[in-house]
Amino acid sequence: MTKRALVIIDLINDYLDHWSTDKVARLIGETNTLAVAFREAGLPVIWVRQEFRPDLSDAFLEMRDKNLKIAIEGTSGAQLHAGLNWEPGDTIIVKKRYSAFFRTELEDILSAMGVDELVLCGINTHACIRMAAIDAYQRDLRVVLAEECIDSYDAEHGRVSVDYMNGKIAKVATVPEIIQALRPLHESRAVKAVSSFDATQDFGACEAR
């Protein structure tokens, strides 16, 4: 049986403060809906956020080269947005690069939990979401992109990234479709005809590019 985990990436104050109120409200509302559904199904909710030292010694090259101080440890900007439905029992991972897997404990945590499919939410689609999806796929994890819960400040590259990932290394699904797939098997069978989301789709058969 597939065991899923919800992984929510970089919904922190310093990033969301630059987004429109409408976009932030949508991202937070839809992400919270999934977080509640995963907890009700007894499945893990994992929050991933960036955080860097004030001297940027652990930051990536662009930040160091341009002295970009954002998501600095000890500041409110590096914290999860207050509107998010976070609970003490959730897992929080701090990352230093685009990928949630790069030099973090995420892979070990997922392995210990027996997770074999990730549902990804967060920003930015063309950068951190794409990197997490690719790295998950390279670890033989199935990946679902929550359509209403991902976004990018760069709309064009976000769209191109979704087009590249969908049907190859990931599956795009809506929040209602994802929640439907979390229901017990006997319930899922009863409503299968109204949902096009196949959580067991074999992505490995997709052609390499």
Six-digit token pair at 38? 């995963």
Alpha-carbon dihedral 28, 34, 36, 41, rounded to 10 degrees: -170
Which domains does the chain possess? 4-184 (3.40.50.850)
Instruction: Give dist(CA 102, CA 104) in Å, integer.
Output: 6
* Residue 18: closest CA among 61, 77, 102, 95: 77
Number of H helices, E strands in the chain: 8, 6
Contact between residue 81 and residue 124 where contact means Cβ atoms under 8 Å apart: no
Contact between residue 124 and residue 133 where contact means Cβ atoms under 8 Å apart: no
Residue 183 has what pLDDT? 84
Residue 129 has what pLDDT? 98
Contact between residue 36 and residue 28 where contact means Cβ atoms under 8 Å apart: no
Confidence of residue 1 (pLDDT cuts 50, 70, 90): confident
Q: What are phi and psi of 94, to 5 degrees?
A: -100, 130
Query: Who contacts 68 (Cβ-Cβ below 8 Å, separation ≥6)?
Result: 56, 59, 62
Six-digit token pair at 18? 């630059």
Q: Report how far Cα 72 is from the mean position of its chain's Cα atoms.
A: 21
166-175 pLDDT, tens digit each: 999 999 999 9
Instruction: Give dist(CA 30, CA 138) in Å, integer.
Output: 27
Q: What are phi and psi of 123, to 5 degrees?
A: -135, 160
- What is the model's pTM? 0.88
Residue 4 has what pLDDT? 97
* Residue 91: closest CA among 72, 73, 112, 117: 112
Place of tokens 């930015």: 124
Q: Report how far Cα 133 is from the mean position of its chain's Cα atoms.
A: 8
pLDDT at 204 over 60: no
Six-digit token pair at 103? 């030099």
48-75 pLDDT, tens digit each: 999 999 999 999 999 999 999 999 999 9
